Structure formats: C-alpha cells, structure tokens
Amino acid sequence: AQTVTQSQPEMSVQEAETVTLSCTYDTSESDYYLFWYKQPPSRQMILVIRQEAYKQQNATENRFSVNFQKAAKSFSLKISDSQLGDAAMYFCAFSTGANSKLTFGKGITLSVRP
C-alpha cells in the first residue's frame, strides 16, 4: 500500500521569505506521480505543482518548486517570496496506476507573517 507522510503539522514564514514543506512517501511502484495541493480557508482544493517520477528534472511553477529525491522517496515543496495569499493547508499526494487514485498526506498548515 502507498503511504504519504507529512511530519510537520504547522509551519510559519515571514512574508517575502522562502519556506520548504516536507513530504515523504512509500511505494513499491517505479512509475508514479506526485502532487502538491493547496487548500485555503475556502476549502477549495487547488493544484500547486506536479511531478512525474520518471523525470529527473524538478518541476517549477513560478514561485513554487519541488525537490524530488526518488531514491529517498522525498518530495518537498519550496515556496519563494512568500505572500499572504499563500497561507493555507498544503497536501502532498501520490498516484499510480491507470485509475490514478490519489493518496494524501495529513497536510501542513502554513501561516504567513506580514
């Protein structure tokens, strides 16, 4: 069975600073996909960034980037130039197989200090 672990329940960052959110996963599959979702207080789930396991290059989306370490089964999210609107819960998620069911971590609550 696949598992996703987010060991930090909460983090805080100063506006304009950089923060890294950690995620580890466990799987016996060699081909899979990893995602970071953001959930603001509105409850809406918003895709932040995604990564194919077969790609060596780390994904980047504007101020968001990942550090994907396949051997260590680690998938951390780096947020640069943090903004007040980045305050939310962030979920790491994993999928594999044709049905692409998502397995989520417990999430981390990120607060941004002005």
Please tell me whether residue 111 binds other proteins under the rule CB under 8 A.
no
For the bound state, the minimum distance from the C-beta of residue 103 to other proteins, rounded and expressed in Å, comes to 8
Task: State the number of binding residues for other proteins (CB under 8 A).
Answer: 26
Please tell me whether residue 62 binds other proteins under the rule CB under 8 A.
no
Which DSSP string do the residues of 15-68 spell out, in sequence order?
Answer: TTS-EEE--EEE-S-SS-EEEEEEE-TT---EEEEEEETT--SPPEETTEEEEE
Q: Do residues 50 and 37 make contact, with C-beta atoms less than 8 angstroms apart?
A: no
Helix (H, G, I), strand (E, B) or coil at 94: strand
Please tell me whether residue 113 binds other proteins under the rule CB under 8 A.
no
Length of the chain: 114
Helix (H, G, I), strand (E, B) or coil at 73: coil
For the bound state, the minimum distance from the C-beta of residue 21 to other proteins, rounded and expressed in Å, comes to 14
Among residues 47, 74, 79, 114, the one that binds other proteins under rule CB under 8 A: 47
**Interface residues with other proteins (CB under 8 A)?**
4, 6, 9, 33, 35, 42-45, 47, 50-52, 91, 93, 97-107
